[in-house]
Amino acid sequence: IESTRLLGSNWSTKVEGGETRIGTFFEQDFSYPFLAEIGRFSSKQSILHREDLFAYYLPDDQGYSHALQPLRQESGEVSLATRVGRPGKWTLLGLGLSRQQLSFGNFSTGTEVIRDRDFSTFEAAPSLIEQALHHQIQDRVMTRMNFVVGQRNIQYQKRDGLNGLKGSFDIPVGGEFDLTVGKSINFLETSDLQNEKDLFFSLRGYGAIAPGRWILASSISLQGRRIEDSPQSGWKDILGEFDLYTSWKPRITPRHTLFARFSGSGGWETTAPC
C-alpha cells in the first residue's frame, strides 16, 4: 500500500510486507518531504523488519562462489528537518532518533555456501568459512541521536529532447551536500542487549554543470563509524561510492544524446553485513 499524496495532502505513506527466502519482512514509512524548492519543513517516521540472506563473495580458491548468512534486521527512525534561506540557496538543519538491531540466531539453518553462483542449491558451510565470518555475525544494537547540516545551492535548466524526441527535462545545476553525525545513547537498553557505543557519520554530495550542449554531473557518498569501549575500537564500517555522469547532444545529430557513466564503490574495516 503506497500513497505519495495521502488523502490529497503532501504527506506520503507506504506499508508493505511479505515473505523472503527464509522469513518475513515488513516496512512502514510515513513522511512529509520538502516541497521542491519552496518547502521549509520535512519529517519522517519509519519502521523496518526483515529476515533475509546476505551473500558474501568468496575467493575462487575456496571452491565456492558465495556464502549465505541468515540475517534479521530491525530498525526505526523519527526525524525532523528545516531549511532556512531562499529557493536556490538553502541551509538544512535536522534532528532525529534512530535505532538499528542486527541479529543472526534463531533461524532454521546456519551459514550455507553455493557453487558457481547457483543460488538454487545450498550446502552447509565448512567450519573454516564459518570461523572466517564469526566476527561479522555478532548480534548488535545501536541507538543514536542524529544531527544533520547541509547546504543546497541548486538552480534548474530546461533541456528539450534529452531522454526522448519530445518533452523537456529540468536539470539540477549547482551543488549540494549534507552531513549527518550520530552519537550513540543509552536508550531502550535491556539487561541482555546493550547499545553499542559509537560515533557515526554520513556525508553526501552532488554537483553539476550544463555548459552548451553538455551536462556534467557527479555524486559522492561516504559513511563510517568510530567504535568506542570495544575490542574493535577505532574507525570501522567505512563505505564509499561515487558516480560521474556526462551527456552530450551533438549539433550535427540533434536527435541523439550520447551518455557515459563511471562509478565506483568500496568498503573498509567492515564489522557486519553491509
The string of DSSP letters for the chain reads -EESSGGGSS-EEEEEEEE-SSSEEEEEEEEE---TTT--EEEEEEEEEEEEEEEEE--GGGS-SEEEEEEEEEEEEEEEEEEEEETTEEEEEEEEEEEEEEE--S-SS--EEESTT-TT--EEPPHHHHHHHGGG---EEEEEEEEEEEEEEEEEEEEESSSSSS-EEEEEEEEEEEEEEEEE---S--SS-PPPPEEEEEEEEEEEE--TTEEEEEEEEEEEEEE-SSTT-EEEEEEEEEEEEEEE--TT-TT--EEEEEEEEEEES--S--
Evaluate if residue 165 carries a pLDDT over 80: no
Which residues partner with 204 through β-bridges? 178, 221
Evaluate if residue 100 carries a pLDDT over 70: yes
Q: What is the mean pLDDT of residues 219-243?
A: 91
Q: What is the pLDDT of residues 4-54, one digit of tens each?
A: 888 888 999 999 999 998 999 999 999 999 988 888 999 999 999 999 999
Evaluate if residue 214 carries a pLDDT over 90: yes
Band of pLDDT at residue 105, cut at 50, 70 and 90: confident
Band of pLDDT at residue 159, cut at 50, 70 and 90: confident
**Can you say whether the dihedral through the CA atoms of 181, 185, 187, 191 is positive or negative?**
positive
Q: Give the per-residue pLDDT at 228.
A: 84
Q: What is the pLDDT of residues 171-213, one digit of tens each?
A: 899 999 999 999 999 877 665 666 788 999 999 999 999 998 8
Q: What is the pLDDT of residues 244-269, one digit of tens each?
A: 999 998 888 878 889 999 999 999 99
